[in-house]
Chains A and B, each alone.
Chain A
């Protein structure tokens, strides 16, 4: 009987998640077009490395890594203030989290208007006496713009995770720090950060996974990879090769590269899951 309760779930997950992963690994070693189905070894991976668009996508993953500390520390600092009961903290938490529940498509559509060259953001800059910026049309800053919008849209997620972590901090440690006359930076450094180390680790992992796999909607609607292929990430590259270029085998190779990134990031997550399932 217990097996019957889990069987449908196992069937769905194996048939539609695990099996496709194996199939994809297999496709990535076959050819496209005339070579459809034929074994080509690592040729697709060589094609990827020679493709300037995919190289840009990899470079942009590097950019995500650079942005990661910002995407983690901003909500961390804000959560600290909320935890210390800044006036209006409940309202702030609700407001900061709201963009998280909006689809990236909605967010992207809004920022398409806000950041268009003749849009309100530039009008504001001009009124302040500055030069307008081509936020999404300038290849050297478009990716930074999309990353910034992504962080704007998702920092509330990390914030509520931090706050849930704060709820588990031992109050007596905070009281002891106060009695000992510790100031705020000392309290944060010696009490809060050590107590929250697992939460911080979790936020790093989920934020990085969010950046690797949660930006498709923004990229699709805001830049579609442009200008000049400057705003590609692996996920968009996979989509374009599969859908528009009709090169599913090459797309599969790019999928495997993305999967390796996920494995590296997810190693930490797996440890967290294992700890959770041990309690079962």
Chain B
């Protein structure tokens, strides 16, 4: 085994190199974002010793990123709230309450995990148009909610099913209604799972480009990731400004990762080890 001796280090070195390879494109982009246009044309690889926010300010002011950030924030917050409310209600009912058809309904919802958005894109576009929600924040919120709800319910159901049924029984004996149990018992007990699944859903919504491209067509309604796809054309002759825009767009996710890494990895692995 590996536990002692030089063998560990022989493996640690390639692992470190791989870590460097993972970070390099990101550090490269950060480095480029600090260069002037002239500096970049003369030397693409070299480290710059400049440290300034000029490019960030310029990119922020000229690219419309501020509008895109606002749009992304609105739809992400809206969708995450809807997902947590609907997901925790359903997860509680499926895991703790007995009612006719619960198993069938749960399987119906989980089977939607096999329907990626690409498969239903055309009809979805028409449905959203039919109810007048194309190119609106509410429409995109609805799209994200429907897209990520099965996954949310899967995680909330499996989390709540680990809570002993006696707790719910005891609350009922004490005279709590089902709604009371949900609000005063299940929501507080579910906090770790809600935090984890909320952050994951926030990432999904924030990072999406396909659904946002399809449903948000006017420039004023673009989300941040759709805006990033347009940056390259905007700054085709000024790569440092382009890189600055990319760094700005990546920053919120970087912060989220630094603070909530454990919740994120717990969330993505929660479904994997149940089998």
**Could you list which residues of chain A lie within 8 angstroms of chain B, going by C-beta atoms?**
1-3, 5-6, 8-10, 12-21, 23-24, 27, 78, 81, 84-88, 91-92, 94-106, 109-114, 118-120, 123-124, 152, 156-157, 160-161, 163-165, 167-168, 178, 183-184, 187, 198-199, 202-203, 206, 209, 212-213, 216-217, 220-221, 234-235, 238-239, 242-243, 248, 251-252, 255-256, 258-259, 262-263, 266, 269-270, 272-277, 279-280
Contacts and interface: CB of A to CB of B under 8 A. Distances in A.
Interface stretch (B50-58, B59-67, B188-196, B262-270): B262-270
Closest 9 CB pairs of A and B: A103-B207, A16-B146, A164-B269, A20-B120, A20-B123, A23-B123, A5-B93, A2-B99, A213-B116
Interface in B85-99: 86-87, 89-90, 92-95, 97-99
B184 interface: no
A278 B99 CA distance: 16
B203 to A, nearest CB: 6
Contacts of B28: 110, 113-114, 120
Interface in B10-26: 11-12, 15-16, 18-19, 21-23, 25-26
A10 B246 contact: no
B29 interface: yes
Given A102-B250, A161-B269, A220-B209, A86 B12 contact: yes
A1 B22 contact: no
Nearest to A156: B22
Secondary structure dominating the interface of B: helix
Given A10-B108, A103-B207, A85 B86 contact: no
20 contacts: A5-B178, A6-B93, A6-B102, A9-B149, A21-B120, A21-B123, A86-B8, A95-B23, A101-B203, A102-B250, A103-B225, A123-B45, A152-B22, A160-B265, A164-B273, A220-B229, A221-B228, A239-B210, A277-B106, A277-B110
A263 B112 CA distance: 11
Given A13-B149, A88-B15, A221 B246 contact: no
A39 B225 CA distance: 38
Given A103-B225, A255-B118, 11 more contacts: A5-B92, A16-B142, A85-B2, A110-B28, A114-B28, A163-B269, A165-B273, A220-B210, A248-B126, A262-B116, A279-B274
Contacts of B272: 161, 164-165, 199, 202-203, 206
Contact of A84 (B1, B22, B108, B203): B1
Interface string B139-158: 00011011101100110011
Contacts of A88: 12, 15-16
A104 B109 contact: no
Nearest to B24: A114
B118 A238 contact: yes
Contacts of B116: 209, 212-213, 235, 258, 262
